[in-house]
Amino acid sequence: MNSRSRVLQHVLRTSLRVGLTAFVGFASVSSAFAGDKPRPRLITVTWENDLFVGDDSGYTNGLGVTWARVGLAAFNKENLPSWLHAVSKRLYISSMPEKARAVSYTIAQSMQTPEDLENTELIEDEAPYFGMLAWTANLHAYDARVADTLALTLGVVGPASGAEFSQKLSHRILGSDEPEGWEHQVDNELVFQLQAERLWRLGELSFDNGSGFDAIGIGRVALGTIRSNVVAGLSIRYGRALERSFPAATVLPGRESNPLVFGAPGSWQVFFNVLGSYVANDISADGNTFRDSHSVPLEHWQTMLVAGVSYSFGRWALLLSAVDASDSYENQPEPTRFGSLGVTVSFYSA
């Protein structure tokens, strides 16, 4: 069997695994909103995997479920947990005048492995085996020109993340090679990150057929044990109903709910993002923050290119993107490349 066939076979097997996992995640999220609590307007299931771009090492897999409510007049106890509302009502994101608002929550598991999955020894010159299970709350405030997001992420890395169990179980069920080096993963540790992002819609060009271009400036600052960095970039988009999806353009659009489901029928977009960042710390390369563990020298200056396409039909929207990033640590043997598939469904009409 040639290498292309092996990659295709692995993608098909992994797709089956992700489909089953996404179904379980969707059921869990739906049950969490049962009863008297209002259901979210949007639910998105996102799968990130390097096999989309023909690789199988480094950042290897991520699976997340996001649920969101959009078009809110204000943040209050009806759309936020009481503790989060108590904190957020004192912050700029709640007091900005003449803004529409939205709130979204994400539960995601991600994992990173070295190039050689069958090596049982510690691979000194590659980033450690790494798994993270995290919950993120995003508060959005936006108008036609500027969109702000303030996010809090809480999670755990190490064996408690379940990444080793997930990967080994799926490989056994599907008959894939079992990864042998998870004993060298980072240790259990609680992690967090605070993040602020702003998008500026710098300009747009519309055509008579309803399509058009726009340009979006991107700025982001993050601080925490997961990663601390400063990001600046530019997004160029072409499509229909761009003004509706502007607040979710962001650095990696596949990780947010896709508001194109509220656009005109057959709304679509093609986008290209160019980003540069300074990274002060990154737990996936630095290892544990509060104890000794395997680490590699971090590359502080990094760049990223993101290209993708999105399309909506009825209550559904699909987003497919590809990421090509510079090395995240010194002497990284394989480039950081992965693809993302996001499926969004809306529960209420606009």
DSSP letters spanning 91-112: SHHHH-SS-EEEEEEEEEEEEE
Phi, psi (degrees; rounded to nearest 5) at 309? -140, 145
Task: Give the model's pLDDT for residue 260.
Answer: 65
Are the CB atoms for 147 and 115 separated by under 8 Å?
A: no
Residues of the chain with pLDDT under 70: 1-40, 50-60, 170-171, 174-176, 254-255, 259-265, 348-350
Question: What SS3 class is residue 206?
Answer: strand
Distance of CA 27 to the CA centre of its chain: 20
Are the CB atoms for 69 and 41 separated by under 8 Å?
A: yes
Are the CB atoms for 304 and 259 separated by under 8 Å?
A: no
β strands within 124-188, DSSP E: 130-142, 146-157
Residues paired with 224 in a beta bridge: 193
Q: H-helix or E-strand containing 285? A: helix 283-286
